[in-house]
Amino acid sequence: TKSTKATREMDPQDDTGSIREKESDSKQYKSSFLGLLIRNRNYRLFLSSYLFSHGGEWLTYVASISVIESILGGQTSRTAISILIVVRLLPNVLLSSIGGTLADSRDRRESMILLSLVHSFIPFFYILAGYWASIPMVYLVTFLQECVAALNEPCKSAIVNQLVDNEEDLQKATALTGVSWSCMAAIGSSVGGFVAASYGPNVCFLMDSSLFLCSAGMLYAMEGKYNTAEKESAGYGNVCERITEMTREAFQYLSGKFWWPLVLMKASSALMYGVSDVLNVSFSENGDGDRDEKLGILFAFVGMGCLVGLFVSDAFTSVSRIQSLQWAGIVSLGFSTIGSFGMGMMGSFHWLCFFTLVRSAGSSGTWINSSVLLQLFAAPEKMGRVLALDGALSLLLEATSAMLCGYLQDDLGLGPQAVSLLVSGIGSVLFSLWCCYHWTGRGATSQEAAAFMQQIAEDKADKRTLTEQTPLI
């Protein structure tokens, strides 16, 4: 036992790829966002890669909307935009089990590098779609791009747990990963709107390709192995059998856990924010000003709201009080409801931006806290599949919500304000249900959760004692 511990102190990874605690580092820097970034080189590189990739995705998203509108002669079809959103989300639902299996059966870093390189070639087909003025080709290229993203996303989510060495850093890392998405939503969307309006959407597509090449470079610079399933995958046959069996195991694993309803928390929020992109396109057409620039501004406020949600949530939560994470996620759902209600009641663009910020802050809080809870509760070897299922359910409801939003506006004639009020009503029901879940002692407030956290604390104390007693070799 002593020799094993000494080896782990010298080698930051064991044979499963799980990063081990380094007490000297933890003592040197306080557990904070800055401390995590200073001492953890691999996480810095991963975060840089994450920023590059999501920045590119937002550039392409805004540019693809611009291409569709230009093909339609400057007119906007909510149904066309809704179809684009559904096409973007559908691969994540269809391929979630494959992506989760990939994350749990292969080296996550190597998979992410390969998929980033593949992604870097796809934006050139958007340029062809615009040249041929083909909306179906825009949808086809979007579907192809999102298929690659669907395989990549479970690897991105699951690797975070391997890059940190304690539960406090896990909370910070998950939050920082979320805020990276927020930053790119704010920066990438606003830059995309400006570039598309000033230089044309093709420049956005070229920037997307370059950013994914940079993302692959950051991942290549990371050190270590990130495969958690050498032993587990040995008993499977061909690829189809492996996917089927590993997916079945994931459902069996979840069904026996006290925290399984938490997989639905992010999906509850997705049912509300799924309409936001379609509504933002509609709101951007109201009043004076360039439509692309106004759309970019609204997306920028989405990103800023996510930043606000991150820091407010972090101020009132702690892994040591795990029930605070669950309650913060539920309260954030309430803020999403308030934001949707305000968007439906206020007519000016300035108020619209403010309540967009409130709504997205709530969505961010729910996303971050539900993600931290799943990262804490799920076993490392099941992490990819659990997070893939969590993402698939969220995206399925997001796509359904987006499609219904387009139908309500184009076919039933409802305005964006009316749809926002309808969404706030749905949010009120969901908020009430989750409050009942929390107050009746379920999930993170249950006795099982308390015992789980007690076991983590005891294991941590045992590790610390063993480290102090064992000299480093």
Q: How far apart are CA 99 and CA 152, in angstroms?
A: 7
Q: How far apart are CA 285 and CA 415, in angstroms?
A: 12
Residues 122-167 have pLDDT tens digits of 999 999 998 998 999 999 999 999 999 989 988 888 898 889 887 7
Range from 71-75, 271-275, 449-453 carrying the lowest mean pLDDT: 71-75
- Give the model's confidence band at 75: pLDDT under 50 very low, under 70 low, under 90 confident, else very high: low
Q: How far apart are CA 38 and CA 169, in angstroms?
A: 12
Question: Residue 463: pLDDT above 90?
Answer: no
- Give the model's confidence band at 196: pLDDT under 50 very low, under 70 low, under 90 confident, else very high: confident
Range from 91-100, 233-242, 377-386, 450-459 carrying the lowest mean pLDDT: 233-242
Contact between residue 405 and residue 275 where contact means Cβ atoms under 8 Å apart: yes
Which pair of tokens denotes residue 122? 């796809």
3-state secondary structure of 19: strand
Cβ neighbours of residue 217 closer than 8 Å, sequence gap 6 or more: none
- pLDDT above 90: percentage of residues in the chain: 29
Residues 247-273 have pLDDT tens digits of 778 788 888 888 999 999 999 998 888
Q: How far is CA 444 from the centre of its chain?
A: 21
Task: Provide the pLDDT for residue 49.
Answer: 93
Q: Which of the given ranges, 29-33, 245-249, 327-331, has the highest pLDDT on average?
A: 327-331
Cα angle 328-329-333, degrees, rounded to a multiple of 5: 110
Task: Provide the pLDDT for residue 276.
Answer: 83
Largest CA distance in the chain: 74
Q: How far apart are CA 174 and CA 176, in angstroms?
A: 5
3, 14, 28, 32 from 465: Cα distances, Å: 15, 20, 19, 24
Contact between residue 266 and residue 394 where contact means Cβ atoms under 8 Å apart: yes
Phi, psi of 321 (to 5 degrees): -115, 75
69, 101, 193, 290 from 74: Cα distances, Å: 5, 43, 15, 12
Task: Provide the pLDDT for residue 224.
Answer: 87
Question: Residue 13: pLDDT above 50?
Answer: no
Contact between residue 169 and residue 36 where contact means Cβ atoms under 8 Å apart: yes
- Give the model's confidence band at 233: pLDDT under 50 very low, under 70 low, under 90 confident, else very high: very low
Contact between residue 122 and residue 145 where contact means Cβ atoms under 8 Å apart: yes
Q: How far apart are CA 84 and CA 61, in angstroms?
A: 9
Cβ neighbours of residue 59 closer than 8 Å, sequence gap 6 or more: 188, 191, 192, 195, 204, 205, 207, 208, 211
Q: Name which residue leads in pLDDT, 10 or 416.
A: 416
3-state secondary structure of 13: strand
Mean pLDDT of the chain: 81
Q: How far apart are CA 60 and CA 54, in angstroms?
A: 10
**DSSP result, 353-417:** HHHHHHHHHHHHHHHHHHHHHHHHHS-GGGHHHHHHHHHHHHHHHHHHHHHHHHHHHHTS---HH
Question: Residue 19: pLDDT above 80?
Answer: no
Tell me, yes or no, if the pTM score tops 0.75: no
